[in-house]
Structure 1
Amino acid sequence: MTVIRRPVVVGIDGSSAAFGAVRWAADEAVRHGQPLRVAHALEESGEASVDEQRIVLDAGAEARNWQPGLDVTTATSHGSPARMLVEQSRHASLVVVGSRGRGGFRSLLVGSVSRQVAEHAQCPVLVVHHAERWAGPEAQLPRHAPVVVGADGSAAAELAVELAFAEASSRGVGLTAVRAWREPAHRWGRQPDTDGLADAARRELADDLEPWLAKFPAVEVGQRVVRGETVPTLLDEAREALMVVVGARGHGGFTGLGLGSVPSQVLEHADAPVLIARRS
Structure 2
Amino acid sequence: MTTIHRPVIVGVDGSPAAFGAVRWAADAAVRLGRPLRITHVLGVPGPAEEITDEQGLVLDAAVEARHWYPGLHVTTSTWYGHPVSVLREQSRHAELVVVGSRGHGGFHALLVGSVGVHLAGYAHCPVLVVHHAERWAGPESPLPSHQPIVVGADGSAGGQQALEVAFREASARRVPLVAVRAWQQPVSRLARRVDPDRVAADLAADLERLRAKDPAVELRSRVVQGAPVPVLLAESRDALMIVLGARGHGGFAGLRIGAVSQHVLEHADTAVLVTRY
1:43 deviates by: 2.4
Q: Does 1:124 align with 2:126?
A: yes
1:158 aligned residue: 160
1:141 deviates by: 0.3
Helix, strand or coil: the match of 2:139?
Answer: coil
1:101–1:7 distance in 2 versus 1, CA, 3 Å: same
1:267 aligned residue: 265
Q: Does 1:82 align with 2:80?
A: no
Q: 1:114 aligns with which of 96, 113, 116?
A: 116
1:221 aligned residue: 219
1:188 deviates by: 4.5
Length-normalised TM-score, structure 2: 0.91
2:140 aligned residue: 138
Q: Does 1:57 align with 2:55?
A: no
1:118 deviates by: 1.6
1:244 deviates by: 0.3
1:119–1:47 distance in 2 versus 1, CA, 3 Å: closer
Question: Structure 2: how far apart are the matches of 1:143 and 1:189?
Answer: 44
Q: Does 1:256 align with 2:258?
A: no
Moved more, 58-67 or 39-48: 39-48
Question: Structure 2: how far apart are the matches of 1:159 and 1:61?
Answer: 35
1:187 deviates by: 2.6
1:208 aligned residue: 206
Moved more, 139-148 or 4-13: 4-13
Return 5+ residue gaps in structure 1 as ranges.
Answer: none
2:183 aligned residue: 181
Q: 2:68 aligns with which of 54, 58, 66?
A: 66
Helix, strand or coil: the match of 2:200?
Answer: helix
Moved more, 176-185 or 270-279: 176-185
Helix, strand or coil: the match of 2:18?
Answer: helix
1:4 deviates by: 5.2
Question: Structure 2: how far apart are the matches of 1:49 and 1:10?
Answer: 18
Q: Does 1:94 align with 2:96?
A: yes
Moved more, 161-170 or 211-220: 211-220
**Does structure 2 conserve the Cα–Cα contact (< 8 Å) formed by 1:43 and 1:78?**
yes
Amino acid at match of 1:225: V
Question: Structure 2: how far apart are the matches of 1:3 and 1:198?
Answer: 48
Helix, strand or coil: the match of 1:132?
Answer: helix
Helix, strand or coil: the match of 1:251?
Answer: coil
1:42 deviates by: 2.2
1:213 deviates by: 1.4
1:14 deviates by: 1.1
Q: How many residues align?
A: 272
**Does structure 2 conserve the Cα–Cα contact (< 8 Å) formed by 1:248 and 1:258?**
yes
Moved more, 209-218 or 55-64: 209-218
Question: Structure 2: how far apart are the matches of 1:93 and 1:129?
Answer: 20
Question: Structure 2: how far apart are the matches of 1:124 and 1:19?
Answer: 20
Question: Structure 2: how far apart are the matches of 1:147 and 1:103?
Answer: 32
Return 5+ residue gaps in structure 2 as ranges.
Answer: none
**Does structure 1 conserve the Cα–Cα contact (< 8 Å) formed by 2:50 and 2:78?**
no
Question: Structure 2: how far apart are the matches of 1:208 and 1:253?
Answer: 21
Helix, strand or coil: the match of 1:25?
Answer: helix
Amino acid at match of 1:257: L
Q: CA RMSD in A?
A: 2.4
**Does structure 2 conserve the Cα–Cα contact (< 8 Å) formed by 1:101 and 1:111?**
no
Per-residue CA distance 1:91-145 (angstroms, 9 max, x = gap): 11100000110169x9x96252222212210100000000011011211100100
Question: Structure 2: how far apart are the matches of 1:26 and 1:148?
Answer: 21
Question: Structure 2: how far apart are the matches of 1:186 and 1:158?
Answer: 28
